[in-house]
A and B are shown apart, each in its own frame.
Chain A
Amino acid sequence: MLDKPASALRIRERLIESERLMEGTGCYDGITELSLRNQDPLKFETLHTKLRAYCVSAREMARRISASPGVREVGEMVVAIYTPEGDAIALSNGIMVHVHTMSRFIKWMIRNGYEENPQINDGDIFANNDAFIGTVQVPDVMDVMPIFHSGKLVGWAGAVCHELEAGGITPGGDVALAQERFTEGLFVCAEKVGQNDELRRDYVIRCERNLRMPIYWVLDEKAKVASCIDMRESVKALIDEIGLDYWMQVSKEFIEEGRRAQLARARQLTVPGIYRGHTFYGHVTAGKPGYQPLGDPDWLYNMPIEMQITSDGKIIMDFEGTQPWGYHSMNCTPAGMDGGMFVTLTQTMNFEGFVNDGAWMATELKLPKGTWTNPDSEMAATATSWALLLPAYGVFQRLLARSLVARGFVEEAFVGQVNSPMIEMGGTSQYGTLFGMAHFECAAAGSGAIAIKDGLDTAYVGWNPESDMGNIEIWEQNMPMLYIGRSIVPNSGGAGKYRGGCAFLSTWLVSKTDHLRLVTSEHSSRVFDNGGLCGGYPAPTCQKHRAVRDTNIFELAEKGAPLAHHTGTNPYRSELEVRLEGKHVTVEGPYITAPHKTGDVFTHSYNGGGGYGDVLERDPVKTAWDVENGFLTREAAQGIFGIVLDEDEEGFPVANLDATKRHRVEMRAQRLARARPVSEWVAKERERVKAADFAPEVKKMYASAIKLSARFTRDFSAFWDVDAKSTFGVE
């Protein structure tokens, strides 16, 4: 129990007081004046830089302890320093989404009387991966340790790693098949897992007995504890230097400064008003093995977002009108939604100055109860919540982009992130041992375009601003599959004056195993879950999985015959079909099938980003370069962008500028000839709406949104001039 001067209830009381002060003054913890900053701004800035350096250094050290290629190679880790009440003061780089989710975890323990039982003592280690307490999904396991100085709780050090194996119904971390909490894997619910700076042996045994690949989780735990101890000792030494009273005041001023900086940034970069956008997600599971009949197998999710930027710079995001939570793994808790908001802000607006919980305090999320954003049952599974989170926050980025275009900061107007479908795997490794792993090369998708240039190719993902696909050799050490190809997917960026960044595709030969389970998630193949902006098109939907079982690849290799290294550019007949004999399979949506074995070939394609601007304005010279380098096909260059390409003496594409000009004039004329007035289309479409002449999943989507949202019902009825409820048979 806390000794002097804090009493048993002091932290909880302090938390309540802090919130009351914020409500009363509008400023964090009632800090209406940044007095220490005003007294000595240089000292103030220097201290924050030191705290940030502690975090960055602790994370880098911890990554060397981890055995997980996710943490070591791709950097799936973040650490942060918190106030005693659990508000982030400073953080490292990495998966910053978790800075605020850890804040929720600390506050949850404080609110739930942890000071009394199980008590909060110096050297304690608390762990959590329960999204309803404070994380995003089951593989995001966080550890926090209190920081005591002079017998007083003066802060917390926290660390999160994304685990590559969580012990769920399907292997890996993102447990695609989980339909309820009880199949998601090993839960650690705000548990004291260590004392005196050491993990409890019984906790480690529990991990070892319940995970397919415990070495990842257990060594990550040690890495996190090491980073927390490192940060704790640094903070204690700093307090020795600056004094405890100064620390207690300055740590709060950092957060209030962060809050003010976010508001100021919004006023500097955006335009006040109401912004709207939407995206969709198609979840297709009919006929796939393992799904329990708890609900309809196929779902179409609509994700409408209304964003308000108020006159004081506050950003309010409202998800009203979206779909209910369901018996699948893609639900999200408010903690996850907070995390998505936080990580997006750190990339889009908080790219300088103090990045901490203050930024989050300058925003507000409206998450309707009962929807996937805020399930009213804590039994809902959230193991693959990024499936819906990423598309939703991609909309947020596009809404912000519109405001940046309006304000003139075109270099920051970013069409945004996309889903990056993951592969999880398990079974028998190439070493003959039990294994399980998430493959994290998905952390290098294509980004959306920027209002002045193409998006990043194979170099961006929303959840980790330091995207990295990892080295092929490292992945091959950890799984019974060998790369026979990793290549750019042509046209995988959305078309536009500036195209979205392209994605890549991997092709593997299953090797040295007779039992490899492959499972994928975040895989919306039936609808676009991303979008373009200002005339740019969405990137293609998730591509279907293509695999070949029992191939003749070893015979081909022996003969020195060509192998298939990618799927090619013919959507009706892949390179696999051209080159390989065997049982060819094409799977839409999550890949959940019987185990693979040596000699099978499997491909997985990641996603590109949305485009920006009218395709007929794309630079022909740049396009020729894109065709030469495999980012665009010739038929896309001519058919979509209206760019006529000739060939030089060596056969490389060269833009024919005059022919392009003429072709584009024709295309524009064709466009006008094909188009009809929107009013005419609305009048005709209204008849279809009145008859509810839609696919069953589309009708169900409307009925669900209407049941949950009076505003959606009102807006739908007003737009089409129909009674939405009776149209879709809603009582």
Chain B
Amino acid sequence: MTSYSKEVIADLVAGTLPWPQTRRIMSAYKDDDRFFKYVAVLQDRVGWEEPILLPVGDHLFICQSGDERVTKCECGHSFGDYRKNWKLKASIIVRDTEELLREIYPNSDLPDPEWMEIREFICPECGTLHEVEAAAPGYPIVHDFEPDLEGFYRDWLGKPLEPSSKGG
């Protein structure tokens, strides 16, 4: 079975693994023990103790926080119950004028702000930009991901989660 060390996975996730090695990993059969090594790498990276249950973004994780399962920024800021859309608890910058769009697209033609805006969802504590939506004005904010967390651990990983009194 293919398997890599935690150090290799850490470098891969950080984007620092040399390309020839990365290329070999891409071409090889996948390593079935990836998930828990990956979570361990991320757990080392964050500055808090609550166990990560599932990464849902580059710096966004579902974790076990006491009795609750919450979506949390890498900085430790909690967006609350993981089953709810974390974006509704975030901060936002909306680029809905030519001037604001021009900041991101300094040398290109722009979309028509009457037809399209950019929404940046930001951690209110550390300012990390977690997600960008390009949407027509008035389009509801998207709830990107509702994982079947219990089913994933029980049926696919074979390691059922401890029952949680709150948050799923």
Contact = CB atoms under 8 A, between A and B. Distances in A.
Contact of B58 (A405, A544, A636, A720): A405
B132 to A, nearest CB: 5
A614 B58 contact: yes
A276 B140 contact: no
B32 A615 contact: no
Contacts of B22: 411, 452-453
Contacts of A635: 106-107
Interface string A511-531: 000000000000001111001
A614 B137 contact: no
A676 B89 CA distance: 11
B12 to A, nearest CB: 6
B152 A535 contact: no
A274 B145 contact: yes
B107 A490 contact: yes
Contacts of B112: 282, 526-527, 695
B151 interface: yes
B43 interface: no
Contacts of B90: 677-678
Interface string B105-122: 111111110111010111
Given A268-B30, A635-B106, A531 B134 contact: yes
A452 B108 contact: no
**Secondary structure type dominating chain A contacts:** mixed
Contact of A535 (B13, B29, B129): B129
A278 B135 contact: yes
A452 B12 contact: yes
Interface in B7-39: 9, 12-13, 15, 17, 19, 22, 25-26, 29-30, 32, 34-35, 37-39
User: Could you say which interface size class chain B belongs to?
Assistant: 35 or more
Interface string A406-434: 11111110000000000000000000000
B147 interface: yes
Contacts of A495: 104
A537 B32 CA distance: 32
B162 interface: no
B16 to A, nearest CB: 9
Contacts of B92: 675-678, 681
B106 A639 contact: yes
By size class, the interface of chain A is 35 or more
Interface in A620-643: 633, 635-636, 639-640
B80 to A, nearest CB: 12
A571 B121 contact: no
B109 A525 contact: yes
Contacts of B55: 405-406, 408
B140 A408 contact: no
Interface centre among A352, A675, A720 (most CB of B within 10 A): A675
A534 B121 contact: no
B161 interface: no
Interface of B: 9, 12-13, 15, 17, 19, 22, 25-26, 29-30, 32, 34-35, 37-39, 54-60, 87-94, 103-112, 114-116, 118, 120-122, 124, 126-149, 151-152, 155-156
25 contacts: A268-B32, A273-B147, A406-B54, A406-B56, A408-B55, A452-B12, A528-B111, A533-B131, A535-B58, A537-B132, A538-B118, A614-B129, A615-B129, A671-B127, A675-B92, A678-B87, A678-B91, A679-B88, A679-B89, A688-B138, A694-B114, A695-B114, A702-B138, A719-B141, A720-B138
Interface of A: 267-269, 271-280, 282, 300, 302, 311, 352, 402, 405-412, 451-453, 490-492, 495, 497-498, 525-528, 531-538, 540-544, 569-571, 612-616, 633, 635-636, 639-640, 668-669, 671-672, 674-679, 681-682, 685, 688-689, 694-695, 697-698, 701-702, 715-716, 719-720
Given A533-B131, A534-B130, A639-B103, 8 more contacts: A277-B144, A407-B38, A528-B134, A537-B104, A540-B110, A671-B93, A675-B93, A675-B124
